[in-house]
Copies of this chain bind each other. A is one copy, B any other.
């Protein structure tokens, strides 16, 4: 038998494929994260504010919002601001925790705060649950309860 570790080239290809998926998801993740933040801190998430904070034109932001809606993560009605669906809120909570954990890890490793925040913005989208778990252990944090049964 020879398929115990699956042809190396195949494993490598799978890693690249996985990274491509993460790259594709990164954009929407950032929008969800930001919308949650705007809603939490200001009570509303308007396309213009979203665009300004993400650094794209408002037209681009509106298209991204349309995609969020298509994927069931957000809803909005014309001129009324954007809101997160249940699914969107759940995702946002996960993303917020992940973002913080990545930043905290970088800080613990001695990365300057500005740089930590900068690099985390890209890194966060590529950190698997297994790595997050290792980060928590390293930071001496208890593993958080999974989706607790209410």
Residues of B within 8 A of A134 (CB): 106, 109-111
Among the listed B18, B19, B115, B137, which residue makes an inter-chain contact with A110, where contact means beta carbons less than 8 Å apart? B137
How many copies the complex holds: the figure is: 2
Which A residues, 6 to 41, have Cβ-Cβ distances below 8 Å to chain B? 9, 12-19, 22-23, 26, 30
Per DSSP, chain A at the interface is helix
Bitwise interface map of A from 126 to 142 toward B, beta carbon under 8 Å scored 1, else 0: 11101100110110000
Report, as a range, how many residues of chain A touch the other chain: 35 or more
Which 9 A-B pairs rank lowest in CB-CB distance, beginning with the nearest?
A122-B126, A13-B55, A19-B122, A115-B130, A110-B134, A111-B134, A19-B121, A15-B121, A123-B126
Interface residues of A (CB under 8 A from B): 9, 12-19, 22-23, 26, 30, 52-56, 105-106, 109-112, 115-119, 121-123, 125-128, 130-131, 134-135, 137-138
